[in-house]
């Protein structure tokens, strides 16, 4: 079943990959219009998902993320339109050179083909992921969480009709309707039909995909990010960044989880910063040295320093300078985003050069690791792996390259 | 055991990734010198592998590939020196831009970290793979075939001593001495310790790695390549390319396996080309239409068109024009390398744009898909996947990127 679906997506990809950007954009505009005009249909399908979720006694926060209303449907359509307005990543010849034998070799950006997206019960991801795939010339096989199945069916149905009206195969967008784990596992091993898998969701989902998939995966996810306040930091800036990196949105992967403070500044910095954090409702868990300075802190154990809280909890550690800070990051970090706050040129350069994370900041919050903030316009997640893409996954990262070679009869 | 080994490689990678190119090159020069001066030691270790292989009754071709002699050891050292002379891929800032909020964001090329290489009993791969990894700032965990274990131990031992003499940790080069399948399987799942796995070898090895690994894999391998002779081809050029693409080295992945001939030219082209191929010892297997023109051909069935012969066998199919040729390639190809021979501008452009393979040629042999021929200096294989790298895997492809971000107190 899922194999047959992926086959259809593969066939559609042959058409989509050769289509111009005008038709891809037209499809996105039609999708946005159709989402608005089918708002009632989508919301009513969502209502049955919500009822089922309530009957199952699912958590309020879960139900909140599952809920669609007119505003959210509108936001979904706006998101699709925003993707239509982004630059086309396809067709760019990145470089071209001529070999001594006269062969002219060019490297050209092309769609990947079929992208599988496995995500949780957040129906807004459905339209979002499909829009990014279509824009980048890829067809998609979407597998959302079982609790959003009715919403997803309605949204995908609307999108498929719109895509067809725009003159593209409706199988550019395919939904896996059987949301069993067995089918998801099968989907992860459809080498040759699905070119890339992108899991979007929590650590459990991502680990399951990484460990089971034989199709190449772009791993998104975990962010155990650090802010290191150096002894030569501007105090006000350090407090501002340390606080904002945690409290501005604690639930996301680019928020900071551990605050490392140089012992040279800890006595001055920690009382001020802790006061502000506690006043914003943050629970602090400190090492022994930090707790000597701010006794209100709870005890942080080794496990704390490995933890991505995704909540208003901050672990704090006093370190003796940049070397201990970088060694701590090397050991505990998920290598997503780290920041140093310093006025020292040489320490800034060392931190930028030696810390091995997707994004390394000097004097700025880790919260900027985001496709929008980087200027990519949109993203499908933040890659935490080193292959293919590291950091925000924008349209360009949903492409691959091929070599186009112009000869005049050359043989070897 | 293999986990402890990978941990050592990971620790060494922290040192290696921050080392300058001078020390990396010095290590390579020392390795080359040490290989030469330890020539006897390596050859004598190889001799015990050869004896064991003969006692096991392994094939002559296998033993041939396993054999090291003075010339081959010299070639190994020369290969390492050649890598030392290549440009350093590390540290390049690929692009840098400034956001409206003043953040300056740069994308910088950095080493991947730890690269696992799983390969068959070809001891020359050992030095070659280690050299490419060191040059690109990566440490490596090498797992070669069991029949070359004594050779590999000797080579790695020599390399580790040389690396240490150059002032780098000897664990920059690690060898998995337990060559059991269980240990290989464990190695494939060391996420967090090994960053990327590269299998080098036949289809069986590659499929095993792809299906078992949870560590990201760069898939190399299968090449079912096509030459399409269009109705508007220059006859002489077409014969020259069609013949050379098969006979110049039939055992490699970039050699052609299927010859597609436009029915408009088949009557003229096939008798001439077939004569030359047969005279060079090539067995032809044709479709019905091809066999009407050249009755000497055997019958090609559907399976033939899926087969990478790696031998002096060529399947031949007569097609009605470029559309049928491209549809055949879409269905049967492994999407490695394909060529069109034509004088038509529009058909050349269509083929380049619409065929979805790693390398697409106009009027040249598929045999040029090769790191050396592309000008990369060296390669560790040809990637057949769409993630990270497609086509030859050179030094640049053994790197990843990180974002370096210069702020002035920005928060969100």
Measured between alpha carbons, how far is A357 from A226 in angstroms, rounded to an integer?
10
Chain A residues within an 8 Å CB radius of B217: 216
Question: What is the structure's pLDDT at A290?
Answer: 98
A251 touches chain B (CB under 8 A): no
| Minimal-distance CA residue of chain B relative to A244 | B411
Work out the pLDDT band at B43, boundaries 50, 70, 90.
very high
Q: Do A216 and B216 touch (CB under 8 A)?
A: yes
CB B261 within 8 A of CB B238: no
Residues 6+ apart with CB under 8 A from B30: B162, B163, B165, B166
B17 touches chain A (CB under 8 A): yes
Measured between alpha carbons, how far is B399 from B388 in angstroms, rounded to an integer?
10
DSSP string, A133-159: HHHTT-EEEEE--GGGHHHHHHHHHHH
Compare CB distances from A368 to B386, B404, B405 and report the shortest one's residue: B405
For residue B157, is it left (φ>0), alpha (ψ between -120 and 50) or beta? Answer: alpha
| Stretch (H or E) spanning A94 | strand A93-98
B206 touches chain A (CB under 8 A): no
B220 touches chain A (CB under 8 A): no
The percentage of chain A sitting over the pLDDT mark of 70, rounded to a whole number, equals 100
User: Residue with structure tokens 């091929």?
Assistant: A402
A374 touches chain B (CB under 8 A): yes
Work out the pLDDT band at B354, boundaries 50, 70, 90.
very high
Question: What is the structure's pLDDT at B203?
Answer: 84
3-state SS, residue B96:
strand
Compare CB distances from A407 to B356, B364, B410 and report the shortest one's residue: B364
Question: What is the structure's pLDDT at B137?
Answer: 98
| Stretch (H or E) spanning A313 | strand A313-319
Determine the distance in angstroms separating the CA of A234 from the nearest CA of chain B, rounded to an integer. Answer: 9
Query: Which residue in B403, B406, B408 has the most chain A C-beta atoms within 10 A of its own C-beta, making it the best mutation to test that interface?
Result: B403
Q: Do A411 and B210 touch (CB under 8 A)?
A: no
Measured between alpha carbons, how far is A252 from A308 in angstroms, rounded to an integer?
10
Question: What is the structure's pLDDT at B118?
Answer: 96
pLDDT in tens, A356-370: 999 999 999 999 999
Q: Do A388 and B387 touch (CB under 8 A)?
A: yes
Residue B324 pLDDT greater than 80, yes or no: yes
Q: How many CA atoms lie within 13 A of A155 on its CB side?
A: 31
Compare CB distances from A400 to B18, B390, B402 and report the shortest one's residue: B390
Task: Give 3-state DSSP helix, strand, coil % of chain A, rounded to 5.
Answer: 50, 20, 30
Q: Do A411 and B364 touch (CB under 8 A)?
A: yes
Determine the distance in angstroms separating the CA of B371 from the nearest CA of chain A, rounded to an integer. Answer: 12
Question: What is the structure's pLDDT at A201?
Answer: 85
Q: Do B363 and A406 touch (CB under 8 A)?
A: yes
Question: What is the structure's pLDDT at A371?
Answer: 93
B189 touches chain A (CB under 8 A): yes
Question: What is the structure's pLDDT at B221?
Answer: 77
Backbone angles phi, psi at A191, to 5 degrees: -60, 140
Measured between alpha carbons, how far is B234 from B231 in angstroms, rounded to an integer?
9
Strands A298-299 and B359-364: unpaired
Measured between alpha carbons, how far is B212 from B210 in angstroms, rounded to an integer?
6
B104 touches chain A (CB under 8 A): no
User: Residue with structure tokens 């009715």?
Assistant: A150
Q: What is the 3-state secondary structure (H, E, C) of B346-406?
A: HHHHHHHHHCCCCEEEEEECHHHCCHHHHCCCCCCCEECCCCCCCEECCCHHHEEEEEEEE
A216 touches chain B (CB under 8 A): yes
- CB pairs A-B closer than 8 Å: 197
Q: Do B361 and A407 touch (CB under 8 A)?
A: yes
A105 touches chain B (CB under 8 A): yes
Q: Do A402 and B387 touch (CB under 8 A)?
A: no
Strands A256-262 and A313-319: parallel
Question: What is the structure's pLDDT at A378?
Answer: 82
Residue A147 pLDDT greater than 90, yes or no: yes
Backbone angles phi, psi at A67, to 5 degrees: -75, 135
The closest of B336, B127, B351 to B229, measured between CA atoms, is: B351
Work out the pLDDT band at B201, boundaries 50, 70, 90.
confident
Q: Do A410 and B248 touch (CB under 8 A)?
A: no
Mean pLDDT of B73-84: 96
Q: How large is the C-alpha radius of gyration of chain B?
A: 24
Mean pLDDT of A14-30: 97
Burial track B290-301 (b if 16+ CB lie within 10 A, e otherwise): bbebbeebeebe
B21 touches chain A (CB under 8 A): no
Question: What is the structure's pLDDT at B410?
Answer: 98
Residue A188 pLDDT greater than 80, yes or no: yes
pLDDT in tens, B140-156: 999 999 999 999 999 99
Query: In the numeric block, which tokens belong to residue B310?
Result: 């790696």
Strands A382-383 and A391-392: antiparallel
| Stretch (H or E) spanning B209 | helix B203-212
Work out the pLDDT band at A268, boundaries 50, 70, 90.
very high
A199 touches chain B (CB under 8 A): no
CB B262 within 8 A of CB B374: no
Mean pLDDT of chain B: 96
Work out the pLDDT band at B222, boundaries 50, 70, 90.
confident
Chain B residues within an 8 Å CB radius of A217: 216
Question: What is the structure's pLDDT at B101?
Answer: 97
pLDDT in tens, B223-266: 999 999 999 999 999 999 999 999 999 989 999 999 999 999 99
Question: What is the structure's pLDDT at B378?
Answer: 82
A408 touches chain B (CB under 8 A): yes
Q: Do B400 and A407 touch (CB under 8 A)?
A: no
Query: In the numeric block, which tokens belong to residue A283?
Result: 């629970």
The percentage of chain A sitting over the pLDDT mark of 90, rounded to a whole number, equals 94
Residue B81 pLDDT greater than 80, yes or no: yes
Q: Do A387 and B412 touch (CB under 8 A)?
A: no
Compare CB distances from A248 to B248, B387, B412 and report the shortest one's residue: B412
Question: What is the structure's pLDDT at A222?
Answer: 83
The interface residues of chain A toward chain B in range 300-319, judged by CB-CB distance below 8 A, are none
Residue A202 pLDDT greater than 90, yes or no: no
Measured between alpha carbons, how far is A371 from A394 in angstroms, rounded to an integer?
6
Chain B residues within an 8 Å CB radius of A365: 407, 410-412
Output the CA–CA distances (angstroms, integers) from residue A130 to A68, A155, B182, in the order listed. 18, 10, 40
Residues 6+ apart with CB under 8 A from A92: A108, A109
Question: What is the structure's pLDDT at A220?
Answer: 87
Question: What is the structure's pLDDT at A98?
Answer: 98
Compare CB distances from A113 to B386, B408, B411 and report the shortest one's residue: B386
Strands A173-175 and A382-383: unpaired
Output the CA–CA distances (angstroms, integers) from residue B83 to B115, B130, B154, B175, B217, in the order listed. 17, 10, 21, 20, 23
């Amino acid at each position: 079943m899922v194999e047959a679906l992926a086959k259809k997506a593969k066939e559609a990809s042959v058409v989509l990959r050769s289509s111009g950007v005008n038709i891809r954009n037209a499809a996105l505009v039609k999708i946005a219009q159709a989402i608005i005009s089918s708002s009632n249909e989508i919301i009513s399908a969502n209502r049955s998902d919500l009822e089922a979720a309530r009957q199952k006694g699912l958590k309020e926060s879960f139900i909140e993320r599952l809920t669609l209303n007119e505003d959210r449907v509108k936001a979904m359509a706006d998101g699709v339109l925003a993707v239509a307005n982004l630059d086309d990543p396809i067709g760019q010849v990145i470089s071209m050179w001529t070999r001594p034998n006269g062969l002219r070799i060019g490297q050209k950006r092309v769609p990947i083909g079929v992208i599988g997206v496995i995500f949780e019960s957040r129906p807004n991801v459905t339209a979002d992921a499909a829009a990014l795939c279509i824009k980048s010339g890829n067809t998609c096989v979407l597998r959302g969480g079982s609790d959003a199945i009715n919403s997803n069916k309605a949204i995908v149905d609307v999108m498929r009709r719109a895509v067809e009206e725009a003159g593209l195969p409706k199988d550019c967008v395919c939904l896996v309707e059987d949301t069993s784990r067995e089918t998801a596992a099968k989907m992860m091993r459809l080498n040759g039909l699905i070119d890339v898998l992108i899991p979007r969701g929590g650590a459990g989902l991502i680990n399951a995909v990484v460990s089971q998939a034989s199709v190449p995966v772009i791993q998104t996810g975990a962010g155990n990010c650090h802010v290191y306040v150096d002894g030569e930091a501007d105090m006000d800036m350090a407090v501002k960044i340390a606080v904002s990196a945690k409290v501005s949105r604690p639930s996301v992967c680019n928020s900071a989880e551990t605050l490392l403070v140089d012992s040279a500044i800890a006595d001055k910095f920690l009382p001020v910063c802790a006061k502000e954090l506690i006043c914003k409702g943050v629970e602090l868990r400190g090492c022994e040295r930090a707790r000597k300075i701010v006794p209100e802190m709870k005890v942080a154990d080794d496990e704390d320093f490995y933890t991505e809280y995704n909540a208003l909890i901050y672990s704090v550690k006093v370190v003796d300078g940049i070397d201990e800070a970088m060694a701590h990051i090397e050991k505990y970090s998920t290598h997503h985003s780290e920041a140093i706050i310093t006025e020292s040129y040489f320490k800034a350069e060392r931190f930028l050069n030696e810390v091995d994370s997707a994004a390394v900041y000097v004097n700025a919050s880790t919260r900027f690791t985001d496709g929008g903030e980087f200027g990519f316009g949109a993203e499908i997640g933040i890659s935490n792996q080193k292959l293919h893409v590291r950091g925000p996954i924008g349209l360009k990262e949903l492409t691959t390259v091929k070599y186009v070679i112009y000869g005049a009869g050359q043989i070897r």
